[in-house]
């Protein structure tokens, strides 16, 4: 891959790249829409992701090129012009990270030529945008010798997404991509940023990611809407409870105080976040106890809650999951990521994986009218220089 990236660079820029970097995509096993409610998440980094080859320049120009968006060509931007620009499309992600670094005093004084190439399906909800953000952060640290920790690179990447791109995401994706570890998922408490690695031994089963191939059209605005519904619920609960985030309370406290939330829709959103947070903790315990069956059941419950209370699934995700639930060898299946399209994650016994892909694929195509794509996921390490 290093040579491939160097060759691509030479073809585009007619000179040699100096360095090559990589950042993974991520899949979340459980703990969905909890990360902006102070809850727990349980994601892992994947072995596919985004690559970049790069060469520093002596002037103030940055040239961006992505092999995935060849039609946009090389974009030339001055380092003093790091403002959001719709025409720059995907390049707003790395630009946002440069802007976020500068906002904490890490100013870059000379430009570079950079080529990106990613093998994460775009818009599939496997965090191609967080991947390119954290990748940019790791590159800036290396290129300009900045004294910045991986956690701060993660925070800058989230800041870029929130304040530069304008999507109010939580910290899960950037964290998983920066801090990922081979064969491990990360239990992250998004309230304190305390985390622990949990080795994923699935006892003869694999993680299968199924892509609905439905583009996440209005996802960003719907995402921000869910977030504000949770904030409304929190405000109502704060009239009696001393809490700073929804996930500070458990199911019992929620049920006793649910009446405080005036709007029924907001109450259901809060219910999802609070129950999902507790489910995540139970799921990690189940894994520690080698109780894969319980882990799978909690995944299924997570999907039902995202479908009925949080309402972020849709016909494509529901179809994939509901077909999966009926297949032999399936331990658990749920949507993963923000929802509104994107992917599902399933745990499937190894000997049933081929049949799963064939049969779920056929049934999905028959009902939805186009194909789903399947990947048997490997859990990889976080962002790094190659
Ligand atoms: C997106 C966001 C994350 C998280 C998930 C839902 O992936 O970027 O921060 O909120 O949705 O769990």
DSSP 341-356: SSEEEEEEEGGGHHHH
Separation between Cα atoms, residue 87 and residue 240, nearest integer Å: 47
* Strand, helix or coil for residue 168: coil
CA of 53 to the centre of ligand 1 (A): 28
Q: For 258-281, write each residue's pLDDT tens digit.
A: 999 999 999 999 999 999 999 999
CA atoms within 13 A on the CB side of 19: 16
- According to the model, what pLDDT value does residue 123 have? 74
- According to the model, what pLDDT value does residue 32 have? 98
Nearest Cα neighbor of 357 from 336, 315, 383, 329 is 329
Which residue from 31, 155, 170, 223 has its CB within 8 A of the most atoms of ligand 1, so it is best to mutate? 170
Residue nearest (by alpha carbon) to ligand 1 atom 8? 169
Separation between Cα atoms, residue 375 and residue 238, nearest integer Å: 43
Low-confidence residues of the chain, pLDDT below 70? Answer: 216-219
**Contact (Cβ atoms closer than 8 angstroms) between residue 12 and residue 378:** no
- According to the model, what pLDDT value does residue 121 have? 80
How far apart, in Å, are the Cα atoms of 68 and each of 64, 73, 85, 128, 380? 12, 10, 19, 11, 22
- According to the model, what pLDDT value does residue 201 have? 85
CA of 337 to the centre of ligand 1 (A): 5
The minimum-distance atom of ligand 1 relative to the CA of 171 is 9
* Strand, helix or coil for residue 386: coil
- According to the model, what pLDDT value does residue 86 have? 92
The minimum-distance atom of ligand 1 relative to the CA of 31 is 12
Q: Which two tokens stand for residue 310?
A: 């949080």
Separation between Cα atoms, residue 340 and residue 173, nearest integer Å: 17
- According to the model, what pLDDT value does residue 124 have? 83
The minimum-distance atom of ligand 1 relative to the CA of 32 is 12
Which residue from 27, 34, 35 has its CB within 8 A of the most atoms of ligand 1, so it is best to mutate? 35
CA of 339 to the centre of ligand 1 (A): 9
Query: Which residues line the annotated binding site for ATP?
Result: 66, 123-129
Q: For 124-137, write each residue's pLDDT tens digit.
A: 889 999 999 999 99
Separation between Cα atoms, residue 180 and residue 380, nearest integer Å: 7
Q: Which residues pair with 44 in a beta bridge?
A: 27
Q: What are the catalytic residues?
A: 173
How far apart, in Å, are the Cα atoms of 291 and each of 263, 334, 345, 351? 38, 18, 18, 19
**Contact (Cβ atoms closer than 8 angstroms) between residue 135 and residue 154:** no
- According to the model, what pLDDT value does residue 27 have? 97
**Contact (Cβ atoms closer than 8 angstroms) between residue 180 and residue 311:** no
CA of 317 to the centre of ligand 1 (A): 16
Residue nearest (by alpha carbon) to ligand 1 atom 9? 170
DSSP letter, residue 88: G
**Contact (Cβ atoms closer than 8 angstroms) between residue 244 and residue 38:** yes
CA of 57 to the centre of ligand 1 (A): 35
- Cβ-based neighbour number of residue 68 at 10 Å: 15
- According to the model, what pLDDT value does residue 215 have? 72
40-49 burial: b if 16+ Cβ within 10 Å, else e? bbbbbbbbbb
Q: Which residues line ligand 1 (CB under 6 A)?
A: 32-33, 35-36, 169-170, 172-173, 337-338
Handedness of CA 328, 330, 335, 341 (dihedral sign): negative
The minimum-distance atom of ligand 1 relative to the CA of 36 is 10
């Amino acid at each position: 891959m290093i040579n491939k990236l160097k060759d691509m660079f030479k073809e585009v820029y007619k000179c040699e790249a100096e360095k090559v970097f990589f950042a993974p995509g991520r899949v979340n096993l459980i703990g969905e829409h909890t990360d902006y409610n102070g809850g727990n998440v349980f994601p892992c980094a994947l072995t596919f992701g985004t690559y970049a080859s790069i060469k520093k320049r002596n002037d103030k120009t940055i040239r961006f090129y992505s092999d995935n968006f060849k039609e946009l060509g090389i974009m030339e931007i001055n380092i003093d012009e790091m403002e959001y620009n719709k025409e720059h499309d995907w390049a707003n992600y790395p630009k946002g990270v440069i802007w976020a670094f500068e906002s904490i005093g890490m100013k870059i004084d000379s430009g570079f030529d950079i080529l990106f190439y990613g093998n994460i399906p775009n818009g599939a909800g496997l965090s191609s945008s967080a991947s390119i953000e954290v990748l940019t952060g790791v590159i800036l640290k290396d290129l300009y010798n900045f004294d910045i920790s991986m956690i701060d690179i993660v925070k800058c990447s989230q800041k870029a997404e929130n304040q530069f791109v304008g999507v109010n995401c939580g910290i899960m994706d950037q964290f998983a991509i920066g801090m990922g570890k081979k064969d491990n998922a990360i239990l992250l408490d998004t309230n304190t940023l305390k985390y622990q690695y949990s080795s994923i031994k699935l006892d003869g089963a694999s993680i299968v990611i199924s892509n609905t191939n439905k583009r996440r059209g209005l996802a960003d605005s719907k995402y921000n809407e869910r977030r504000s519904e949770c904030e409304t619920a929190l405000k109502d609960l704060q009239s009696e409870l001393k809490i700073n985030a929804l996930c500070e309370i458990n199911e019992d406290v929620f049920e006793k105080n649910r009446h405080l939330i005036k709007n029924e829709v907001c109450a259901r959103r809060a219910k999802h976040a609070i129950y999902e947070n507790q489910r995540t903790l139970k799921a990690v315990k189940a894994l520690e106890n080698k109780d894969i069956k319980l882990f799978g059941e909690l995944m299924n419950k997570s999907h039902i809650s995202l479908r009925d209370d949080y309402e972020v699934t849709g016909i494509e995700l529901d179809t994939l999951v509901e077909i999966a639930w009926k297949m032999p060898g399936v331990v658990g299946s749920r949507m993963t990521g923000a929802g509104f399209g994107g992917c599902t994650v399933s745990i499937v016994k190894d000997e049933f994986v081929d049949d799963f892909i064939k049969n779920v694929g056929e049934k999905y195509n028959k009902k939805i009218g186009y194909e789903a794509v399947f990947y048997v996921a490997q859990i990889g390490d976080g962002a790094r220089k190659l």
